């Protein structure tokens, strides 16, 4: 029989050996881990900062169009504790500004992930991120089990989703500014210009480069600045600064809005331009729209009418024709012209005048706007001289202004203008079409020593990162008339204001000149009892301020003469410019 004490000793020895062996193995493994080469894992974090579309600024530095980041708020309805759902709705409504009824409706749409809003502002996004943390702490969100058996807790998610174009002044300066349209760029909502300056400068305004950050992170997931860190700042689009100040534009729009209602017109357009530089101080239409909320009734207002609406100009074309005659030496201002008592038959056409004259001087043909007089004088030009002369003023040619979709207008051919009747009717503004900006450019010749300028609404492009500015290239002006002819025409247009059809614009202490135009509108191939009226001219003071100004009133119903419509609008603009200090009337010296 085996000794029990001996068996017990053997078991103890075996157990000891096993423990010792296990310890030795453990020691070897640990030594291998400790002494061997090892790779310490590094944890990195990366993020992208989206660059934004550039701003459009007024001449006086106000934001006309700007970009704001948008955030998307998403919640998984399965994570909301049913007993605390109403608490979630109330708190989300307070923090987001969205009414509770809308939130309830969106939560009911489906079970699962629900987008509560795509249009959360940056400020509210910060509020909602804080709310998401508090809702977790309050137990509003609970875990739910996935089909795989795993549990998940998503809660409230607030992430950057895109950019929104903001217009702080509403419809100010539309349709010049134009409007953009949204598009998706790798799941991020951006804007692309469709009309106006938003389109013309779309490539410059677009975000140039997104920002990027790549760096090691600490235990709290914060980036650490080390040699391995990499940071690339975002480059936003260029800013576009206009030549137009907000204050003057607001006042011009207010004038034409009031006059549109008074005259019961379809639309009124007005332009104020520096005569020397071509920089626009105001480009206004009574028909405007809110770029962020375009309705069907706004469609007709989306076009920039001063460039995209072409019309038969009527009598405002007469000074251009008369100046071509002067330049070619084919008329003297003091020549005597037969007025035929206000009724004159040319071929099969009878030409009439509103005011009946037997005889009048050549320059008074312009002053008193005689159709009969200019029809006879125009016969001195051949067709080539007529066409070349009007084109030299810029008619049927692009104005050079930085906007798309300009309608260049039309005029009769050289062959047609060799015919007596075509020459006559074109001389008083029928049978050809122009836009208002072409007329502004043409009339500016009289106030700028016979030379053209290129109208511009854009002063410069600005790099927001460096502050450097870029001046867009503009077409150089050309000499249309000799300075002597331009000065003579200027005096005739001043006389037209003092004694003729423009008397309603007289402003003591200022040099005002200009010409009216009233033109029948053709519909369905015949002229109807509807009119467009215009007044084109200039306003100068004796302190060096020189402006070319144009007004066109489309289909006024209260009156149809330019002297009672366009002239009245023009006068109100002059008076406003005096009040705002753009024009300073001279004070007569007391004797």
How far is 269 from 395, CA to CA, in rounded Å?
Answer: 19
Tens of pLDDT, residue by residue over 254-263, are 999 999 999 9
- Is residue 553 over pLDDT 90? yes
Question: According to the model, what pLDDT value does residue 423 have?
Answer: 96
Sorted by sequence, the CB contacts under 8 Å of residue 544 that are 6+ apart come out as: none
Nearest to 62 by CA among 195, 248, 232, 298: 248
Tens of pLDDT, residue by residue over 53-80, are 999 999 999 999 999 999 999 998 988 9
Counts of helices then strands in the chain (DSSP H, E): 17, 23
Q: CA of 507: how far to CAs of 119, 540, 558, 568, 583, in Å? A: 52, 11, 25, 12, 11
Pairing type for strands 113-120 and 267-274 reads: unpaired
Sorted by sequence, the CB contacts under 8 Å of residue 447 that are 6+ apart come out as: 275, 490, 513, 538, 540, 546, 548
Do the Cβ atoms of 566 and 507 come closer than 8 Å?
no
How far is 303 from 290, CA to CA, in rounded Å?
Answer: 13
Range with top average pLDDT, 183-197, 215-229, 276-290, 341-355? 276-290
Question: According to the model, what pLDDT value does residue 31 have?
Answer: 63
How far is 229 from 46, CA to CA, in rounded Å?
Answer: 10
Q: CA of 203: how far to CAs of 19, 207, 237, 471, 477, in Å? A: 77, 9, 8, 15, 27
Question: According to the model, what pLDDT value does residue 40 have?
Answer: 42
- CATH class held by domain 246-579: alpha beta
Place of tokens 């389109």: 199
Helix (H, G, I), strand (E, B) or coil at 247: helix
Question: According to the model, what pLDDT value does residue 146 have?
Answer: 74
Nearest to 136 by CA among 94, 93, 220, 76: 76
User: Distance between alpha carbon 426 and the CA centroid of its chain, in Å?
Assistant: 35
Tens of pLDDT, residue by residue over 485-519, are 999 999 999 999 999 989 999 999 999 999 999 99
Place of tokens 């951006």: 190
Pairing type for strands 156-166 and 63-76 reads: antiparallel
pLDDT band at 28 (very low <50, low <70, confident <90, very high): confident
Question: According to the model, what pLDDT value does residue 271 have?
Answer: 98
Sorted by sequence, the CB contacts under 8 Å of residue 80 that are 6+ apart come out as: 88, 107, 140, 141, 142
Domain ranges of the chain: 67-165, 246-579
Q: How many CB atoms within 10 Å of residue 191?
A: 23
Peptide bond into 482 cis (omega under 30): no
- Is residue 572 over pLDDT 70? yes
User: Distance between alpha carbon 32 and the CA centroid of its chain, in Å?
Assistant: 71
Residue with the larger pLDDT of the pair 196 and 160: 196
Q: CA of 15: how far to CAs of 4, 8, 19, 27, in Å? A: 17, 11, 6, 18
- If you count them, how many residues does the chain have? 591
Show the CA angle centred on residue 169, arms to residues 168 and 173, nearest 5°. Answer: 130
Question: What is the average per-residue pLDDT within 136-162?
Answer: 83
Tens of pLDDT, residue by residue over 175-225, are 999 999 999 888 889 999 999 999 999 999 999 998 887 777 665 455 566
- Is residue 36 over pLDDT 60? no
How far is 189 from 206, CA to CA, in rounded Å?
Answer: 13
In DSSP terms, 72 is beta-bridged to 159
How far is 174 from 6, CA to CA, in rounded Å?
Answer: 108
| Residue 410 DSSP class | B
CA 194, 200, 204, 205 torsion: positive or negative? negative
- Is residue 94 over pLDDT 70? yes
Q: Which CATH number fits domain 67-165: 3.30.1390, 1.10.150, 3.20.20, 1.10.8?
A: 3.30.1390
Mean pLDDT, the chain, rounded, equals 91
How far is 322 from 481, CA to CA, in rounded Å?
Answer: 12
Sorted by sequence, the CB contacts under 8 Å of residue 261 that are 6+ apart come out as: none
Question: What is the average per-residue pLDDT within 231-243?
Answer: 93
pTM of the predicted protein model: 0.85
| Residue 221 DSSP class | S
Inter-axis angle of helices 318-327 and 420-427, to 10 degrees? 120
Q: How many CB atoms within 10 Å of residue 164?
A: 18
How far is 352 from 46, CA to CA, in rounded Å?
Answer: 80
Helix (H) or strand (E) run with residue 338 in it: strand 336-338
Residue ranges of E strands in 167-305: 179-185, 188-195, 211-216, 230-232, 239-242, 267-274, 280-285
Q: What is the SS3 assignment for 57-74? A: ECCCCCEEEEEEEEEEEE
How far is 372 from 351, CA to CA, in rounded Å?
Answer: 6
């Amino acid at each position: 029989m085996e000794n029990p004490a001996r068996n017990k000793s053997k078991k103890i020895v075996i157990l000891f050996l096993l423990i010792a062996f296990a310890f030795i193995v453990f020691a070897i493994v640990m030594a291998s881990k400790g002494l061997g080469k090892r790779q310490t894992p590094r944890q990195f974090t990366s993020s992208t900062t989206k660059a934004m579309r550039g701003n459009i600024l007024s001449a006086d530095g106000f934001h006309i169009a700007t970009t704001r980041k948008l955030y998307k708020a998403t919640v998984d309805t399965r994570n909301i504790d049913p007993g605390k759902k109403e608490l979630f709705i109330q708190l989300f409504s307070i923090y987001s500004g969205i009414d509770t009824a809308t939130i309830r409706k969106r939560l009911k749409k489906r079970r699962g992930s629900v987008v509560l809003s795509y249009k959360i502002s940056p400020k509210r996004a910060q509020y909602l991120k804080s709310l998401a943390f508090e809702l977790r702490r309050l137990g509003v969100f609970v875990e739910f089990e996935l089909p795989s058996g795993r549990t998940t807790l998503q809660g409230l998610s607030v992430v950057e989703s895109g950019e929104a174009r903001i217009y702080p002044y509403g419809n100010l300066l539309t349709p010049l500014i134009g409007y953009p349209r949204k598009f998706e760029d790798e799941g991020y909502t951006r804007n692309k210009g469709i009309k106006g300056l938003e389109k013309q400068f779309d490539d410059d305004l677009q975000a140039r480069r997104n920002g990027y950050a790549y760096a090691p992170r600490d235990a709290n997931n914060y980036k650490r600045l080390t040699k391995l860190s990499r940071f690339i700042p975002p480059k936003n689009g260029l800013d576009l600064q206009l030549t137009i100040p907000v204050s003057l534009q607001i006042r011009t729009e207010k004038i034409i809005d009031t006059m549109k209602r008074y005259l019961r017109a379809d639309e009124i357009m007005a332009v104020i331009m520096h005569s020397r530089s071509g920089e626009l101080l105001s480009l206004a239409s009574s028909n405007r729209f809110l770029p962020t909320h375009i309705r069907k009734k706004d469609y007709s207002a989306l076009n920039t009418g001063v460039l995209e609406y072409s019309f038969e100009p009527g009598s405002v074309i007469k000074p251009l024709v008369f100046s071509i005659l002067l330049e070619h030496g084919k008329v003297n201002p003091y020549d005597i012209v037969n007025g035929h008592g206000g009724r004159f038959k040319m071929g099969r056409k009878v030409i009439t005048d509103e005011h009946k004259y037997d005889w009048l001087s050549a320059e008074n043909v312009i002053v008193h706007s005689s159709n009969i007089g200019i029809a006879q004088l125009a016969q001195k030009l051949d067709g080539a001289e007529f066409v070349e002369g009007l084109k030299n003023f810029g008619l049927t040619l692009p104005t050079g202004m930085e906007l798309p979709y300009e309608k260049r207008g039309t005029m009769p051919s050289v062959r047609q203008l060799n015919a007596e009747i075509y020459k006559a009717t074109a001389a008083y503004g029928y049978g050809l079409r122009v836009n208002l900006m072409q007329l502004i450019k043409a009339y500016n010749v009289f106030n700028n020593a016979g030379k053209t300028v290129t109208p511009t609404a854009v002063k410069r492009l600005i790099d927001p990162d460096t502050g450097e500015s870029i001046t867009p290239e503009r077409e150089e002006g050309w000499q249309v008339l000799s300075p002597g002819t331009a000065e003579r025409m200027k005096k005739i247009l001043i006389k037209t204001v003092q004694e003729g059809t423009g008397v309603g614009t007289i402003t003591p202490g200022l040099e005002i000149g200009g010409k009216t135009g009233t033109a029948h509108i053709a519909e369905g191939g015949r002229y109807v009892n509807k009119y467009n009226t215009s007044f084109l001219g200039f306003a100068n003071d004796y302190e060096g301020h020189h402006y070319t100004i144009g007004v066109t009133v489309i289909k006024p119903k209260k009156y149809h003469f330019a002297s009672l419509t366009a002239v009245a609008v023009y006068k109100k603009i002059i008076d406003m410019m005096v009040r705002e200090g753009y024009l300073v009337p001279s004070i007569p010296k007391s004797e």
